[in-house]
Structure 1
Amino acid sequence: MQADTISSIPVSKVRLTIAGFVAFTFIGYFNIGLPLAVLPIFIHHQLGYSTMVAGIVISLQYLTTFLSRSYAGNIVDKKGPKPAVLLGMLGFMLSGILLFMAYGLKSNPALSLGLLIITRLMTGFSEGLVGASPINWALLAVGNQYTSKAISFNGVASYGALAVGAPLGVILQNAFGMGSIAILTVLLGALGLIYAKSKVALGGHNNAPRQSYLQVLKKVSPYGICLALGGLGFGTISTFITLYYSFLNWQGAVLSLSVFSILFVLGRVLFSRYIDIYGGMKTAIACLGLEAAGLFVLWQAPVPGVALLGSGIAGLGFSLVFPALGVEAVKRLPVANQGSALGNYGLFTDMSLGITGPLVGAIATHLGMQYIFPFCMVMAISGALMAMMIYIRRRPATLTAK
């Protein structure tokens, strides 16, 4: 069955409708979160490779995410979100199979690492397909007036999934080994595939004039660069927090990632309305500043408890950066380019997370692990300053329009 819209959904059901679509995001990012805290330790301690190699392998995921975002955006604009989600779930199933093989060959470090590289690339491909497609599917169902709500819900699903998936992955690893993580990844991918097949296909066959890929990228890039600068903090916490705690001989690294994710989710749930009240740019500037403050606390933390506080502040600060800047970016493109706009905007998250591994890994290797968070703090401040410049430059045009 193909449909172009779902007519007149009551406001009371909007939240439930959006949640029904961003459930695909939850499944995808739950799969991403499961090995997140396990793989760096596995690569560094069990396979015997350096922290820089571990960071590069983890970050390889975002290379294919980067490449598949625009592909997913084109699928969404031309055929609708359903085919992209279906293909993404198949990819997660395959990544689980590859992860199982990599774990089974851990006695051969080179072969195991090679399979892990392929696993990360496949995971990234799947993330790129699932990343923005559920948002578009939800907007086709409820209408563009709920853009900020759909983006916020999607963020709650993604980081909520990471908050649950990362500690569960550690529990499974300690109890049953990494093979259990791989099996669960396959099962969840299959569940997502079955659920996606049951949903009504929306959108596609849009004959309205569309702007070129480069035109779309050019319009969203100022907002995307701000997002990328703020995203380095999250990328560093998610990739290096276990190694950072190990460096300081602390316990509870996974809890730090979970606190970041929980405060991120709470920020989206409790404060997303501020985007509509104060505007995307003002909200983004304030949030990037708060994230920088959290990274400062994390850097200066003398004990794990203070580090948890820093992670929470950073998570709360980063919570609204994506939707705040995303609303501003998407409104500058026609409806026919909405899928590509969100896909291209999401590229900057992938770019940020993709360079986190090698860049921050190099800082940790050559300068010391203690320098990774002050570096991220400076990047978040840079993002806030750039967002402020965009706001100041746009303000005269806004006043003239009034």
Structure 2
Amino acid sequence: MSTIVTNTAATKSWKLKIASYVCLTFFGYISIGLPLGVLPIFLHKTLGFNEVITGIVISLQYVTTFFIRGYAGTIVDKKGPKVAVYISMVSFAVSGLLFALAIWQQHTPMLSLVTLSVSRLIMGCGEGMIGASPVNWAMLVVGRQHTAEAISYNGIFTYGSLAIGAPLGVYITQFLGLQYIGAFSVLFSLLGLLYAKTKPAVKESSVAADISFIQVLKKVAPYGLGLGLAGIGFGSISNFITLYYDYWNWQNAAYALTVFSAAFITGRFIFSNAINKHGGINVAIFCILTEVVGLGILFMAGNAGLALIGAAISGLGFSLVFPALGVEAVKLLPASRAGVALAAYGLFIDLSLGVTGPFSGTIVNLFGMRSLYAFSAGLVFAGLILLLYLKKKNRVEALAE
């Protein structure tokens, strides 16, 4: 009996430790979530730009994120995650200031567009730095054996901030004005910076043979590609759900982002141990299949209620894809390169989300808004085929050893 109590207390202890570090992700990603429910409409209807331009501007942050991930991983491994967190919070604050300036410039659409583009690029720097730093900070404190849990908890705070941020951004716009989204971004960034200062600076002490980022990228690429294809579903929802609702004259599009994120968080809480029990590949296969079903419902939805169900099922499906495949990817590298491994792996979701904006805009222009989620479901299904191939390949290699 006492052993059970002791084990339970120990489990709670490391779970709380993980949460106390990865909650830093919330302070960063809230800045990403705040404009999601209002920015597409502002670009398309207030400034007057078409769906392709709208998708490109929204996706610009992922361009910077893509290029900075590797550098961020090196900082985490060599200087410690605290430095990367500091850089990210400053970036989010600057992005928020530029966002407010862009809203003030709305009567000069092209100038506003340029300012918004710079804001999104700097936001991408913040996302690139925050993407792997809190989770690595937690792993350094509690041990690499808790990698799956650390990645899962990090995702809970990531999508929790999106679930809160999207509707909060709508309310801020309604009651205060769109420019105040920038002010709140600055506020949350400063709070994150102050909280990070209370945490001890740590870094990996073990030494392993240095591996170039390109070599790391090649190792994690099969799992990263699966993640990237799965991310297209999330990208099409986060970038275009507000315009999809507007096309059908439905109300409260921000709630689709909320239910997506809420289902995502629920999935991580309820099935948090599934990866350890069934293996990363198996869990990812089941999750991607679920995501395809959710996107199919979004495509066929005849009303806002069904669209919410589709968004929720998509979120539930996407919930464990990142940690499931991330565990498999990180295992390929030594502990001293965990930061770079996660950074390289994360590049694929950045690339996915970066491509999804202009891709979705192009699909809408060529085939109409109603076809968007059919195309998204098809590409996510391609990820399922890839994972089935990887599972078969791994089984053959295991038998050959």
Match of 2:6 in 1: none
Q: Distance in 2 between matches of 1:68 and 1:178?
A: 29
Q: Distance in 1 between matches of 2:328 and 2:303?
A: 39
> Where do 1:76-155 residues align within 5 Å?
76-155=76-155
Q: Give 1:148 deviation, angstroms.
A: 0.2
Q: Distance in 2 between matches of 1:37 and 1:246?
A: 12
Q: Deviations over 1:292-323 (max 9, x none)?
A: 00100110011111111111111100101000
Aligned length: 393
Match of 1:392 in 2: 392
Q: Give 1:208 deviation, angstroms.
A: 2.5
Q: Distance in 2 between matches of 1:74 and 1:381?
A: 33
Match of 1:227 in 2: 227
Q: Distance in 1 between matches of 2:400 and 2:153?
A: 34
Q: Could you say what secondary structure the match of 2:48 adopts? A: coil
**Quick check: 1:30–1:161 contact (8 Å CA) kept in 2?**
yes
**Quick check: 1:63–1:350 contact (8 Å CA) kept in 2?**
yes
Q: Distance in 1 between matches of 2:315 and 2:91?
A: 29
> Which runs of structure 1 show a deviation greater than 6 angstroms over 4 or more consecutive aligned residues?
none
The unaligned stretches of length 5 or more in structure 1 are 1-8
What amino acid sits opposite 2:170 in the alignment?
V
Q: Distance in 2 between matches of 1:73 and 1:205?
A: 15
**RMSD between aligned residues:** 1.1
What amino acid sits opposite 1:187 in the alignment?
L
Q: Does 1:194 align with 2:189?
A: no
Match of 1:166 in 2: 166
**Quick check: 1:296–1:310 contact (8 Å CA) kept in 2?**
yes
**Superposition TM-score, scaled by structure 2 size:** 0.96
What amino acid sits opposite 2:184 in the alignment?
L
Q: Deviations over 1:304-352 (max 9, x none)?
A: 1111111111110010100000000100111121000000000001000
Match of 1:5 in 2: none
Q: Give 1:366 deviation, angstroms.
A: 1.3
Q: Deviations over 1:347-402 (max 9, x none)?
A: 0010000001111100001111111101111111110110010010011222455x
Q: Distance in 1 between matches of 2:326 and 2:19?
A: 19
**Superposition TM-score, scaled by structure 1 size:** 0.96
Q: Could you say what secondary structure the match of 2:23 adopts? A: helix
Q: Could you say what secondary structure the match of 1:106 adopts? A: coil
Q: Distance in 2 between matches of 1:376 and 1:29?
A: 24
The unaligned stretches of length 5 or more in structure 2 are 1-8
**Quick check: 1:78–1:205 contact (8 Å CA) kept in 2?**
no
Q: Distance in 1 between matches of 2:268 and 2:376?
A: 22
Q: Distance in 1 between matches of 2:198 and 2:271?
A: 33
Q: Could you say what secondary structure the match of 1:352 adopts? A: helix
What amino acid sits opposite 2:153 in the alignment?
F
Q: Give 1:206 deviation, angstroms.
A: 5.1
What amino acid sits opposite 2:23 in the alignment?
A
Q: Give 1:256 deviation, angstroms.
A: 1.0
Q: Distance in 1 between matches of 2:159 and 2:350?
A: 15
Q: Deviations over 1:235-284 (max 9, x none)?
A: 00001000001111111211111111100000011012111111000110
Judge which range, 144-153 or 300-309, deviates more.
300-309
Identity %: 50
**Quick check: 1:77–1:206 contact (8 Å CA) kept in 2?**
no
Q: Could you say what secondary structure the match of 1:202 adopts? A: coil
Match of 2:275 in 1: 275
Q: Could you say what secondary structure the match of 1:35 adopts? A: coil
Q: Give 1:10 deviation, angstroms.
A: 3.5
**Quick check: 2:204–2:336 contact (8 Å CA) kept in 1?**
no
Q: Distance in 2 between matches of 1:90 and 1:314?
A: 32
Match of 1:255 in 2: 255
Q: Distance in 2 between matches of 1:308 and 1:198?
A: 39
Match of 1:367 in 2: 367
Q: Could you say what secondary structure the match of 2:76 adopts? A: helix
Q: Give 1:288 deviation, angstroms.
A: 0.4
Q: Give 1:180 deviation, angstroms.
A: 1.2
Q: Distance in 1 between matches of 2:38 and 2:158?
A: 19
Q: Distance in 2 between matches of 1:161 and 1:96?
A: 16
**Quick check: 1:209–1:336 contact (8 Å CA) kept in 2?**
no
Q: Does 1:308 align with 2:276?
A: no
Q: Could you say what secondary structure the match of 2:66 adopts? A: helix
